[in-house]
Structure 1
């Protein structure tokens, strides 16, 4: 069995000193770009992995990213965050980073948990998920000068594109706009929207795409709403479809989530219109199994963007990038999966 490559092996292949390799690993900004790239190629060619324990002692960094795991609530759409965490873990590992998952029931409890992890040097950076209006976590992390990226925009009255922090999000409006345009072109102009109650940043953004597409086509359609959950969504739409005129006057329905879409699909089937085109959001296995069209968020692309913003694109796995520029943001455009 061959021995794993060492720093000396990397230095020999790159034609540099051992100290230069150490600088590339620990302080890449002080190394000339040409030399840094040569060392990085040698690291990649040799599949060199720094010894994590020694690196932590040397740099006083844990090379660990903390991310909150939402409480398990069941349902359909929770699989999206699971996919994101899985993708983040895989991609962080490829960069020599680890992911530490922690739990908390409220934003305030999460801040307390983060304080313990950061003060104990257990994490170097944080990925915030589930952002919401008035989210206290991002301001707290900014005050502590902790490197972080949020999966989700800083919802609120301010211009989110001039936010004080870096974020990645899925362009929900683009997704529902594409879904609405597809529904109008294939089913008819009377496209309804089934969303969450107003006030949810994500929900309002997705509804905006439907409204914009309908306005562009000078079309109108009904709006329905319910909290998340298949059973309540089915109940709401069953009540709406009890009116034959409502059901007959609807060409298609665009939904804020797959849970809403499945509930609406079942309600339409109960009312004798199984063929009503329904489009969900999240592209979950349940939607696929029922043959329901849905908008794919691509959480794997979100995870890649989060790491690029958090660490930079150089592949450096030791030092999280010090941000000298203005906060950046990435909107990942989802795609419509037609079934």
Structure 2
């Protein structure tokens, strides 16, 4: 049964679209249809538009098995799943990247590895057994050897996170952590806070160091004291202990945190001491997770949909066009979402 529009939704499986039926509807040759799908740069824009319109109406889906034989590409990207701490940011990025890659006709294959060394060992097997075209890497850090290995072996990759060793051999997308924490600290200064602490990650974290730098820059520009930062891994319980040390040692009226998880720990410690978050001590997190929304926590929202879209675009460009010119670098600004935890001037 067909509907009046002739759309794919209204056709039965027995009338499955073919390369020939698309060519007939668009009034072009089968080779032109193939070029639009596989080498669009070879086709005039008006002709490509007619072919794409016919593909949409007929619901045509290219034969990927045949395309693999011709192009020697699987259109599959590898992404490592890390399972160290609960990571709502990675989960949201994964969903967004799945959508963004799918829009470009790529699929993701997830894999696990205990550490970077194990991940590097996994690359060859993934490529040999599953014909992975390229990789999207996350969790970049100082001393990261993964991108160097892939560059030496000629395997395309893009990273969510800049290379902290200043290597320039691959494209990357990142969120401006320093710009975000600077904006958060400036917000607290505008509220009247003068003793603003920082609850961050261990020194080995490049991302954590970047976020700490923004806090320090805002305080330096305002000629305010740099209180000794307190540090913890991304765990609420350890964040609470680190927050207790910061409160005891420095007596801040506000705390900027490297993540919402650490901020949750700080909020727990403040409440335990009989004080009110936002009224007695302000707290700002980073990532704008569900934790922030339900707890009234001011936080910096990462534009993860945009990160995913750029990541998919960059790896697709490498695979389809090759590397022409220096690798593209995309740095996106987070958005400060103000909630009650920082909206009241200090007493």
TM-score class, shorter: 0.7 to 0.9
Preserved CA contact (<8 Å) 1:92 1:98: yes
Preserved CA contact (<8 Å) 2:85 2:235: no
Residues 43-52 or 196-205, more deviating: 43-52
Preserved CA contact (<8 Å) 2:85 2:234: no
Q: State the partner residue of 1:259.
A: 261
Give the counterpart of 1:124 among 119, 125, 133: 133
In the TM superposition, 1:103-118 aligns within 5 A as 103-118=112-127
Q: State the partner residue of 2:343.
A: none
**Which runs of 5 or more structure 2 residues have no equivalent in the other structure?**
2-10, 340-347
Q: State the partner residue of 1:59.
A: 71
TM-score normalised according to structure 1 size:
0.88
The answer to which structure, 1 or 2, has the higher relative contact order (CA under 8 A, 6+ apart) is 1
- Give, in angstroms, the shift of residue 333 of structure 1: 1.1
Q: State the partner residue of 1:85.
A: 94
Say whether 1:236 aligns with 2:242: yes
Preserved CA contact (<8 Å) 1:283 1:297: yes
Give distance in 2, aligned partners of 1:295 and 1:4. 48
Query: Partner of 2:320: helix, strand, or coil?
Result: coil
- Give, in angstroms, the shift of residue 47 of structure 1: 4.2
Give the counterpart of 2:291 among 286, 294, 314: 286
Which structure has the bigger radius of gyration?
2
Give distance in 2, aligned partners of 1:136 and 1:65. 19
Q: State the partner residue of 2:324.
A: 324
Cα deviation 1:244-277 (Å, max 9, x = unaligned): xx43xx2311111112111111111122222311
Preserved CA contact (<8 Å) 1:187 1:251: no
How many residue pairs are counted as aligned between the two chains?
323
Distance 1:98 1:240, change over 3 A: closer
Give distance in 2, aligned partners of 1:45 and 1:183. 54
Give distance in 2, aligned partners of 1:42 and 1:184. 58
Give distance in 2, aligned partners of 1:12 and 1:177. 59
- Give, in angstroms, the shift of residue 171 of structure 1: 0.9
Give distance in 2, aligned partners of 1:98 and 1:289. 33
Cα deviation 1:127-177 (Å, max 9, x = unaligned): 111111121110111112112111111112x3x6xx111111111111111
Distance 1:89 1:5, change over 3 A: same
Give distance in 2, aligned partners of 1:178 and 1:20. 52
Give distance in 1, aligned partners of 2:22 and 2:80. 36
Give distance in 2, aligned partners of 1:110 and 1:195. 27
- Give, in angstroms, the shift of residue 325 of structure 1: 2.1
Distance 1:51 1:309, change over 3 A: same
Preserved CA contact (<8 Å) 1:11 1:39: yes
Give distance in 1, aligned partners of 2:109 and 2:338. 36
Give distance in 1, aligned partners of 2:52 and 2:322. 19
Query: Partner of 2:180: helix, strand, or coil?
Result: helix
Residues 120-129 or 40-49, more deviating: 40-49
Residues 192-201 or 20-29, more deviating: 20-29
In the TM superposition, 1:188-337 aligns within 5 A as 188-222=193-227, 223-242=229-248, 246-247=250-251, 250-275=252-277, 276-312=281-317, 320-337=320-337
TM-score normalised according to structure 2 size:
0.86
